[in-house]
Structure formats: structure tokens, C-alpha cells
């Protein structure tokens, strides 16, 4: 374990130096004050730290909920960080936190037993517990995907089967709607980005990305998820539907943030700027 990861683990396990009582309400307030500024990232990091401390003193369903929130906050911190080493270490911690939930439901998951394990989970657990597992699989997956991307092409290829399995189990559990059809978004993006020789498949990419986009559109025809808009647009351009792709981006860019997902306003604001950059490049 490298020194940076050890440092982050130490920080996330210690009490804060400022006098703020740990509580779920306070952690949620901190996370709601996140953005891509230095202070906004610090707020998300403080939320993750607080949720980790709270989780250490609980068990069962309550702990699962706290760990999921911690993994979600860690993903934001890793995504927003400007340091490659900090990104990788934070994503790794997000993976580890998510797996603390997963291990109680899926201790023996392999490529060959996805359906069988999903059936066991459905038979043995309540709908609330199944939802918690699905969220843990999702945050383990997106932290894993970002960790692998940060470590280069070979790690991305190596970790693809695990990432795919996480997303497929979410769907087998009947939970594809979580995170604004996050499992379809992740699967579609992976099939889009992977080289064909390593499992890339534009037909599957189109299927999953279309599902994520069309299942989350508001009355104005814009997905409430910024990533669903961008990923769908990039796929459309790749299959030579350039005008349609540009229109998807324009619609998203012109959207009022209040018409999009209320839980991801900071992310969508940032993604609107990314969409502008992509569209400007396409217009050149």
C-alpha cells in the first residue's frame, strides 16, 4: 500500500480537528455543499470522513446506508481531484468501502454464477436490502472504472470483467433504475470505449446508452443526467448521426439546471461546460 493511500486512510479514520458533531444530517449538508472548487471538494471529503466514522460504530442496514453514502462522496472527491495519485487512492478507498457492503450479500460472485447469486439475494433479502446492495455494486463499479482508467489501458482491460459483472447483477436484481439507469450508462460507455478485440461492441453500446438516455428524459426531451446526454451524443456521432448528436448536446447545454436531476446539480453544472467544449470541438 503506497504512502498516499495510507495517509488518506488515516485521515478518513480520524476525528476532525474542528468542533462539529458527527451526524448523518451534518454529513448530508456537507455533501450538498460540494462543487468543483477547493472548498467544494473539501466539503465532499469532510462528508465522506464523517460518514466513515459513523459507519464504524454501526452495523447491518444502517451501516450499509452510511457506507454507500461514503462511497458516493469518495467518487466525487476522486473525480474532482486534480492529482492523479490522489484520484487513484480515493477511488481505491471508494471500492473498498463499497465492498464492505457487498461481501455480506455476494461473498462468492464469479462470471459463471451471476444469475444464481442474484436469485439467492432476491430470495433471502428485503427490497430495501436489495436496493442497498445494488447501490453498493454501482459505487464499487464506478470507483473501479475510474481507478482502472487512472492506472492506464491495461488495468482498464483487466478490471472490465469485474465492472461488467457488477452492472449485470444490478440488472438481474431488477434495480436498473438506480442512479438514473446507472448500470446501463456504465455498460454502454464501457462497450463504446473498449477496443473491439477486448470486448468493445457498438451495438451493445447503443442498446445500453439509448436505454439510459430515453429512460431518464424530462418533458423537454433532455435526460436529467448530464452523463446520459453526453455519452448518448458521443455514441450518435460515432455512428455518423452527427446532427442528432449535436442537438442532444445543445438541448442539454440550454437546459435550466432546475429541470435536471436535483441531486446532482453540481455535477450537471460542470457537465454542461464539458458539453460546450465537446460541441465547440465538433463545430470546428
pLDDT digits (tens, 9 = 90+) for 263-272: 999 999 999 9
Q: Which residue has the higher pLDDT, 20 or 238?
A: 238
Mean pLDDT, to the nearest integer, of 78-91? 96
Is residue 223 helix, strand or coil?
strand
Angle at 249 between CA 134 and CA 207, to 5 degrees: 45
Contact 39, 30 (CB under 8 A): no
Per residue in 193-242, pLDDT (tens digit) is 999 999 999 999 999 999 999 999 999 999 999 999 999 999 999 999 99
Query: What's the whole-number average pLDDT of the chain?
Result: 93
pLDDT band at residue 11, thresholds of 50, 70 and 90?
very low
- Distance, in Å, from the CA atom of 271 to the CA atom of 252, rounded to the nearest integer, reads 9
Which of 50, 43, 3 lies closest to 24 in space, CA to CA? 50
Q: What single-letter DSSP state applies at residue 15?
A: P
**Whole-number percent of the chain with pLDDT over 70:** 93
**CB-CB contact of 124 with 171 (8 Å):** no
pLDDT tens for residues 138-180? Answer: 999 999 999 999 998 888 899 999 999 999 999 999 999 999 9
Number of other residues whose CB lies within 10 A of the CB of residue 57: 10
Total length of the chain: 284
CA distances for 6 relative to 38, 49, 238, angstroms: 22, 14, 42
Pick 210 or 1 by higher pLDDT. 210
Q: What pLDDT is attached to residue 127?
A: 97
Q: How confident is the model at residue 2 (pLDDT cuts 50, 70, 90)?
A: low
Question: Where on the phi/psi map is residue 174: left (φ > 0), alpha (ψ -120 to 50), or beta?
Answer: left
| Backbone φ/ψ region at 60: left (φ over 0), alpha (ψ -120 to 50), beta | left
Task: List the one residue out of 80, 31, 82 whose CA is nearest residue 52.
Answer: 31
Q: How far apart are CA 92 and CA 267, in angstroms?
A: 21
Can you tell me the distance from the alpha carbon of 269 to that of 271, in angstroms, rounded to the nearest whole number? 5
Query: How far from 68 is each of 74, 83, 94, 100, CA to CA, in Å?
Result: 10, 24, 9, 10
Using an 8 Å Cβ cutoff, are 136 and 104 in contact?
no
- What separation in angstroms does the CA of 136 have from each of 17, 91, 116, 124, 229? 29, 14, 19, 17, 24
Amino acid at each position: 500500500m503506497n504512502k498516499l493511500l495510507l495517509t488518506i486512510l488515516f485521515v478518513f479514520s480520524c476525528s476532525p480537528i474542528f468542533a462539529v458533531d458527527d451526524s448523518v444530517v451534518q454529513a448530508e449538508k456537507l455533501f450538498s455543499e460540494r462543487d468543483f472548487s477547493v472548498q467544494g471538494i473539501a466539503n465532499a471529503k469532510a462528508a465522506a470522513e464523517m460518514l466513515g466514522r459513523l459507519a464504524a460504530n454501526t452495523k447491518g442496514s444502517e451501516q450499509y446506508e452510511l457506507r454507500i453514502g461514503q462511497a458516493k462522496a469518495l467518487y466525487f472527491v476522486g473525480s474532482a481531484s486534480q492529482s492523479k495519485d490522489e484520484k487513484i487512492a480515493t477511488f481505491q478507498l471508494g471500492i473498498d468501502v463499497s465492498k464492505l457492503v457487498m461481501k455480506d450479500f455476494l461473498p462468492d460472485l464469479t462470471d459463471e454464477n451471476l444469475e444464481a447469486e442474484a436469485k439467492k439475494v432476491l430470495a433471502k433479502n428485503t427490497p430495501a436490502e436489495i436496493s442497498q446492495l445494488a447501490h453498493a455494486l454501482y459505487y464499487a463499479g464506478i470507483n473501479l472504472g475510474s481507478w482502472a482508467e487512472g492506472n492506464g489501458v491495461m488495468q482498464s482491460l483487466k478490471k472490465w470483467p469485474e465492472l461488467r459483472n457488477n452492472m449485470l447483477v444490478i440488472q438481474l436484481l431488477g434495480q436498473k433504475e438506480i442512479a438514473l439507469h446507472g448500470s446501463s450508462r456504465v455498460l454502454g460507455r464501457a462497450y463504446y470505449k473498449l477496443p473491439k478485440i477486448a470486448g468493445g461492441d457498438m451495438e451493445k453500446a447503443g442498446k445500453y446508452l439509448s436505454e439510459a438516455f430515453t429512460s431518464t428524459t424530462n418533458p423537454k426531451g433532455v435526460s436529467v443526467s448530464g452523463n446520459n446526454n453526453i455519452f448518448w451524443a458521443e455514441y450518435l456521432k460515432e455512428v455518423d448521426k452527427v446532427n442528432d448528436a449535436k442537438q442532444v448536446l445543445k438541448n442539454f447545454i440550454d437546459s435550466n439546471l432546475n429541470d435536471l436531476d436535483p441531486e446532482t446539480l453540481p455535477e450537471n453544472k460542470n457537465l454542461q461546460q464539458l458539453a460546450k467544449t465537446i460541441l465547440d470541438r465538433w463545430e470546428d
